[in-house]
């Protein structure tokens, strides 16, 4: 019996996509005149304490460069000094200690492009390493494999491939517990919610029903029907999925309902780790949160610059 041939895809817009990949490293794209114009902080907003010298836009600009080139805080300060010298502009560069302090309280958006009408929401989670020796060193020298991980919960728009919301938690956080915060961050109407079996919780179904969102969530194996079919109340989406799976099988249900669209969020996680690595540089949790958010924002900018269009070959 021959092996099944893997489906091959051909990129049809390679020239445009290649140019978008080149532009990701363009310094002028991140350090432009708009950032320089708002470099100084509007001190009239500060009511108490010492007024800020640098605006949030200035701090965010340097932190974006830090994530883009995977730099420590000290090298980020050095890069900022070199850039203003090369551009021949007279603006001060904050110290590395100030960057770390301001990063902990920085507020930034994901710069998501808005589309007309309701959108779909695809969610999943992945792990990011914080501390600990590498796997090879641990195996070679039999050292303690003590590691700390953070759990990143992502929500993407499958149409635009942009990250709509993100939540960073400890590794013990259950996926379903992040749903309210993910929904809160999306300011557009949502039509369908795609998630794996980890989101098959009654609290999640209740939250989605309250907001009028259709859940595309496979019931866990051995799931039981909560509401009898003869009940006068509206049928529950979870119960209808269980009945359909019993009738036609889990694989057929997934194909019919379009569940495999959920794999797009795994693609976004892969792209995020390929671009910025699978390790967090900061040790403080608040700094880790802004570090992850800036990575997601950068990935959205990459997506907006251009993405490949593929077809079956």
Do 134 and 222 share a domain, yes or no? yes
Domain containing 158 equals 119-267
Same domain, 149 and 241: yes
Beta strands 310-312 and 214-216: pairing type?
unpaired
Q: Which of 61, 86, 107 is the last residue of a domain?
A: 107
pLDDT confidence of residue 1: 47
Kindly report the average pLDDT of the chain as a whole number: 85
The total number of structural domains that make up the chain = 2
Q: Provide the 3-class DSSP secondary structure of residue 229.
A: coil
- Whether 154 and 296 have beta carbons less than 8 Å apart is answered as yes
d(CA 213, CA 216): 9
Task: Say what the pLDDT of residue 141 is.
Answer: 56
**Statement to judge: residues 92 and 134 lie in one domain:** no
Q: Exposed/middle/buried for 242, CB within 10 Å: 0-12, 13-18, 19+?
A: buried
- Do residue 66 and residue 188 come from a single domain? no
The predicted structure's pLDDT at residue 221: 84
Do residue 249 and residue 175 come from a single domain? Answer: yes
- Say if 276 falls within a structural domain: no
**Which candidate, 219, 210, 155, 142, places its Cα nearest to that of 185?**
155
pTM: 0.86
Which of 107, 130, 155 is where one domain is finished?
107
Looking at the fold, whether 101 and 124 belong to one and the same domain comes out as no
Considering the domain architecture, whether residues 134 and 230 belong to the same structural domain is answered as yes
Q: How far apart are CA 148 and CA 172, in angstroms?
A: 11
CATH of the domain at 203: 3.30.420
Structural domain includes residue 305: no
Kindly state whether residue 279 falls inside one of the protein's structural domains: no
- Are 219 and 92 members of one domain? no
pLDDT (0 to 100) of residue 206: 92
Q: What is the dihedral of CA 37, 41, 44, 50, to 10 degrees?
A: -160
Answer yes or no: do 124 and 263 share one domain: yes
Residues 70 and 23 in one domain: yes
Closest CA to 150 of 292, 295, 294, 299: 292
Domain-embedded: residue 262: yes
Question: Tens digit of pLDDT per residue, the chain (313 long)?
Answer: 456 566 666 778 888 888 888 888 877 766 667 777 788 877 555 556 566 788 888 999 999 999 999 999 999 999 999 988 888 888 889 999 999 999 999 999 998 988 888 999 999 999 999 865 555 555 565 555 556 889 999 999 999 999 999 999 998 889 999 999 999 999 999 999 999 999 999 999 999 999 999 999 999 888 888 777 667 778 788 888 888 988 999 999 999 999 988 888 999 999 999 999 999 999 899 999 999 999 999 999 999 888 877 776 5
Tell me whether residue 100 is in a domain. Answer: yes
- Give domain status of residue 273, yes or no: no
Residue 152 pLDDT: 96
Quote the pLDDT of residue 220.
86
Tell me whether residue 298 is in a domain.
no
Q: What's residue 313's pLDDT? A: 56
Q: Among residues 107, 128, 156, which one ends one of the domains?
A: 107
Q: How far is the CA of 302 from the CAs of 7, 16, 70, in angstroms?
A: 26, 13, 16
pLDDT in tens, 120-137: 999 999 999 986 555 555
Using DSSP, state whether 67 is helix, strand or coil. Answer: helix
* Residue 161 counted as domain residue: yes
């Amino acid at each position: 019996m021959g092996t099944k041939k893997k489906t091959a895809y051909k990129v049809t817009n390679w020239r445009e996509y290649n140019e978008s990949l080149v532009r990701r490293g363009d310094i002028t794209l991140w350090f432009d005149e708009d950032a320089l114009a708002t470099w100084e902080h509007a001190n009239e907003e500060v009511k108490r304490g010492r007024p800020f010298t640098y605006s949030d836009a200035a701090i965010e600009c340097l932190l974006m460069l830090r994530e883009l080139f995977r730099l420590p805080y000290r090298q980020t300060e050095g890069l900022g000094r070199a850039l203003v010298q090369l551009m021949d502009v007279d603006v001060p560069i904050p110290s590395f200690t100030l960057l770390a302090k301001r990063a902990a309280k920085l507020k930034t958006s994901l710069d998501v492009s808005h589309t007309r009408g309701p959108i779909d929401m695809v969610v999943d989670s992945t792990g990011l390493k914080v501390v600990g020796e590498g796997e090879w060193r641990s195996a070679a020298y039999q050292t303690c494999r003590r590691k700390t991980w953070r759990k990143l919960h992502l929500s993407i728009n499958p149409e635009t491939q942009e990250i709509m919301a993100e939540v960073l938690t400890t590794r013990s956080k259950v996926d379903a517990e992040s749903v309210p915060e993910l929904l809160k961050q999306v300011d557009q109407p949502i039509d369908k919610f795609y998630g794996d079996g980890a989101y098959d919780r009654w609290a999640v179904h209740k939250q989605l029903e309250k907001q009028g969102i259709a859940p595309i969530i496979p019931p866990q194996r051995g799931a039981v029907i909560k509401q009898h079919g003869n009940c006068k109340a509206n049928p529950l989406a979870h119960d209808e999925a269980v009945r359909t799976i019993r009738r036609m099988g889990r694989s057929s249900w997934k194909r019919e309902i379009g569940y495999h669209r959920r794999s797009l969020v795994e693609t976004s996680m892969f792209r995020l780790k390929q671009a910025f690595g699978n390790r967090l540089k900061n040790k403080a949790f608040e700094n880790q949160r802004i570090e992850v958010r800036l990575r997601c924002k950068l990935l959205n900018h990459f997506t907006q610059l251009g993405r490949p269009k593929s077809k079956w070959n």
